[in-house]
Structure 1
Amino acid sequence: MILADGYGILKLCLAWASIVWYAILWSLGLLGCRAARRRYRNQRPSPLASADASSVPGVSILRPLKGLDTNLYENLESTFTQEYPNYEIFLCVADENDQALPIVRDLLAKYPHVRARVMIDEENVGVNPKINNLMRSYREATNDILWVLDSNVMVAPGTLAHSVEALDGPADFPTTSRRRIALVHHVPFAWSSEYALGSRIEEAFLNTNHAKMYIAINTVAVDSCVVGKSNLYRRSDLERVDGSLKPIANAAEGGSQPGQKGLAAFGRFLAEDNMIASALWHELGLRHDLSCDVARNAVGNMSVADYIWRRVRWIRVRKHMVLAATLVEPFSESVMAGSLAAIGSRYLFDITPWLFLPLHFILWLLVDLDVCDSLSGRRVPLLSRLAFIGAWVARELLAFPIWLFAIFGSEVEWRGRRYQVMKNGEVKRAQGVGKGPLGWLRLGNRTSNNGYEPLEVAE
């Protein structure tokens, strides 16, 4: 009898836990939806766009390049056409034979009035090739404010002015904290002219649930949550932190970490963007803000396998950086959260899952579509919307299987190189192809090798 009572209490607690968790998720989702409407549907021009060059802070734009990324010409051109009076551009490649260089030279010829330089070289400070690629431009940049944009990102002409305003601007600009803003970032908005199935699923992921939760978390601002597609920060702040995430006791008085600091200190991480943001947040006690612009992420001809391995890579990296959040992730997805809430509702309120689940998925989808409309600045046409909904369904169904596979591994592939993810998100180079139940998804023929090559770091 006692055992039966205990079992009944356990079921009651689990049922209420599922309902409370479901309510929390909906609160975050609606917060993200509302914040997206307010931030992205009511943009205003920045007064900095028409200001005199001597009255605004200078910005150095750093763009790491490698090969011919999708939409590369238009992506890079968007930095040449910024409506801001005081900036310079560094276009960085590691190899003088890089395929991106002809496009870079065409743009330099087209915009001779823009201060832009090509940097051909890399400095080996760690395992992250993006950091190695940026080191020379980082050292030679004229300005303290740096804007680092990935090569597959295109931005609107007013993005830089809005971003500087958020970083340094007036008190009436909507910020997430009263503390000084150390980093301004932009929500990725995926788009593709090559509508492969994987590309459509990537769009459905980035433009709905990812954006919704990303905006909500940054609105609540309880911790750092940054994707590094497009980040603006001060070099003087970065030169005080090292990625240890240990608070600096005298940070308010200008104190800094001992030892190696600055961009080079983050060469040991694969997700250097997230670590830089976390370092500014935790080591200096500063905060972040979102601009009212998006980072338009050009998605190429992505297969379903490409999509799966992309998600696997970042789940495995996050697992070593924020384990608790990664373990909770599947319970924040529509399928798992809805299923658990349906069971809890049946137990507590005798609501049939056949009524609860259809209503749940319809409302969840409508909120996601509203977020997508806010980010895109327009309502998606009906035919495109139907295709988008199909990709959304595929994304929701794939979410848990991808997470389950990713959570039990630590090897990832990025830019044609394989890495072993270690503690705190640090990585080391790996050789060969890892084994696993989804090994058949890998593209190309590679020789399996379980050895690791040592990391050579410049002294």
Structure 2
Amino acid sequence: MSNPTYSSSTVYGVLSAIGLGWYVVLWSIGLLGCKTGRGRYRLRPRSPLATSPAAPGVSILRPLKGLDTNLFENLESTFVQEYPNFEILFSVADEDDQALMVVRELMSVYPQINAKIIIGEEIVGVNPKVNNLVKSYRQATHDILWVIDSNVSAAPGTLARAVDILNESSASQNPAKKRIGLVHHVPFAIEYQGYLGARAEAAFLNTNHAKMYLAINAVAVESCVVGKSNLFRRSDLERVNGSLKPRKETDPREGEYGLAAFGSFLAEDNMIASALWHELDVRHDLSCDVAHNVIGKMTLVDYVWRRVRWIRVRKHMVPAATILEPFTENLVASSIAAASVNYLFGVSPWIFLPVHHIAWLWVDLDVYESLAGYPLPAHERWKFIGAWCIREILAIPIWMLAVCGNEVTWRGKRYQVLRAGQVRSRATDGTRNGGLWCQEGESSSQYKSLPTDEAI
């Protein structure tokens, strides 16, 4: 008996149906992100913990390195939190760090705030941020920790609203509802110096990234956390080690636990969140606040290599999602959809594509305005649209460049990315190495190339 054969029209029909189905899935995710942004961020009520004498204590940990853009205002935002019971621990690896001048000035302006400076790093791995934080982590007075990067500022009510979420889940009487073990904030980029790379970064973070981030966390089928501003309990972190294997209280403890266990990961924020999710079976939640991140002098080349770096880290942590990433991008998805509807329904791409791009841009702009809390001014709208177009055009070339290598540069040091997002330090000659500049995590700072002996 001969094998059945299929006509080319059948194959094209099946592929077109799959392409259209994928397009519907992407729009569902985008609209969910848009809806979540509208429902969560357009109203920010004041927390009763803001003035409650029973508010649990919180230790705020801020790692510092150099003079980040907007550093004074960023750090000041933690001094003016509307919360009755907190301490601030500033971590610096070097006693000559320029950031200490800013910290000491703020401590003199706000003498009533319990703030301390912790100098000196403890080497527990290759991640400089973890090494910088370990001492503060161990000296913190309170169990609830708020780790917030130096290039992030927060609204005065942010801490109280985050503690609300963390405590409400712990007090829940519903045994079927999983406890919230981590509260995080979606990054929101602010750009004001006019650099093209900075505008592209803001267009990415405030639209495509935020839309997907909100949708994934709304569905909550897997951990998805960026570590610019995270609140969790030290007692929880002391029970995980990054193995991502479910743990029981009776399981023997071997190796390092707590913050130090994550020193071998470059994206320690994502790994900590994943460890809490998988090892303790707790969940995460977003508050109605954002992590404001002022972007400094980022050129377009800086932007490209920054995106390359984090794709290279991500492809070792979530390879399947990284492989699928190009198919989630606007230009690829719309091209597939245009070909599909043209074959199935005879709709011309010259009609479909303009309608698609206008609708896609409208959703992205709506997400942007939800996070900002105000409509984008008319004089800024065209600048945003231009940066948005550049971001969309560069997305696939950046991805192709990223998947072709495993080395990244972060704060002047070169690393080789290994399995599960772990990294190994590589020798460096102090050169720029392909355009990567001094930055930290998922944000931008005062972008200047640092020689090896200055970088953390």
Normalised by the size of structure 1, how large is the TM-score? 0.91
- Look up the equivalent residue of 2:325 and give its one-letter code: E
2:169–2:179 Cα contact (<8 Å) kept:
no
Q: Secondary structure at the match of 1:292?
A: strand
The separation in 2 between residues aligned to 1:442 and 1:219, in whole angstroms, is 33
1:241–1:257 Cα contact (<8 Å) kept:
no
- Look up the equivalent residue of 2:30 and give its one-letter code: G
Q: What whole-Å deviation, never above 9, does each CA across 1:283-329 have from its counterpart, x for those lacking one? A: 11110000110000111110001101110010000000000001111
**Residue 18 of structure 2 corresponds to which residue in structure 1?**
17
Instruction: Kindly indicate whether residue 356 of structure 2 is the aligned counterpart of residue 360 of structure 1.
Output: yes
Instruction: Provide structure 2 residue ranges, at least 5 long, that are not aligned to the other structure.
Output: 438-447, 452-456
**Residue 34 of structure 2 corresponds to which residue in structure 1?**
33
**Residue 234 of structure 2 corresponds to which residue in structure 1?**
235
Shift of 1:10: 2.3
Q: Secondary structure at the match of 1:153?
A: coil
Q: Secondary structure at the match of 2:241?
A: coil
Q: Secondary structure at the match of 2:280?
A: coil
The separation in 1 between residues aligned to 2:40 and 2:177, in whole angstroms, is 18
2:246–2:281 Cα contact (<8 Å) kept:
yes
Shift of 1:171: 9.2
Q: Secondary structure at the match of 2:62?
A: strand
Residues 118-137 of structure 1: pairs in structure 2 closer than 5 A: 118-137=117-136
Normalised by the size of structure 2, how large is the TM-score? 0.92
- Look up the equivalent residue of 1:41 and give its one-letter code: R
2:410–2:436 Cα contact (<8 Å) kept:
no
Instruction: Kindly indicate whether residue 317 of structure 2 is the aligned counterpart of residue 321 of structure 1.
Output: yes
Q: What whole-Å deviation, never above 9, does each CA across 1:77-121 have from its counterpart, x for those lacking one? A: 000000000100001100011010100100010000000000110
2:64–2:99 Cα contact (<8 Å) kept:
yes
Shift of 1:42: 1.6
**Moved beyond 2 Å, runs of 4+:** 1-10, 169-173, 253-259, 431-435, 438-447
Q: Secondary structure at the match of 1:232?
A: strand
Q: Secondary structure at the match of 1:418?
A: strand
Q: What whole-Å deviation, never above 9, does each CA across 1:38-62 have from its counterpart, x for those lacking one? A: 100021110100111xx11110000
Q: Secondary structure at the match of 1:297?
A: strand
- Look up the equivalent residue of 2:41 and give its one-letter code: Y
- Look up the equivalent residue of 1:117 and give its one-letter code: K
**Residue 6 of structure 2 corresponds to which residue in structure 1?**
5
Instruction: Kindly indicate whether residue 299 of structure 2 is the aligned counterpart of residue 300 of structure 1.
Output: no
1:242–1:257 Cα contact (<8 Å) kept:
no
1:196–1:302 Cα contact (<8 Å) kept:
yes
Shift of 1:216: 0.4
Question: Are residues 121 and 310 of structure 1, via their aligned partners in 2, closer, same or farther at CA, if it must alter by over 3 Å?
Answer: same
Question: Are residues 418 and 171 of structure 1, via their aligned partners in 2, closer, same or farther at CA, if it must alter by over 3 Å?
Answer: closer
Shift of 1:434: 12
Shift of 1:178: 2.2
Identity %: 60
Q: What whole-Å deviation, never above 9, does each CA across 1:105-154 have from its counterpart, x for those lacking one? A: 00010000000000110000000000000010100000000000111000
1:237–1:280 Cα contact (<8 Å) kept:
yes
Q: Secondary structure at the match of 1:320?
A: helix
Question: Are residues 80 and 395 of structure 1, via their aligned partners in 2, closer, same or farther at CA, if it must alter by over 3 Å?
Answer: same
2:305–2:434 Cα contact (<8 Å) kept:
no
**Residue 208 of structure 1 corresponds to which residue in structure 2?**
207
Shift of 1:350: 0.7
**Residue 264 of structure 2 corresponds to which residue in structure 1?**
268
2:59–2:87 Cα contact (<8 Å) kept:
yes
CA RMSD of superposed structures (Å): 2.4
Q: What whole-Å deviation, never above 9, does each CA across 1:221-253 have from its counterpart, x for those lacking one? A: 0000000000000000000100011111x2xx5
Question: Are residues 441 and 107 of structure 1, via their aligned partners in 2, closer, same or farther at CA, if it must alter by over 3 Å?
Answer: closer
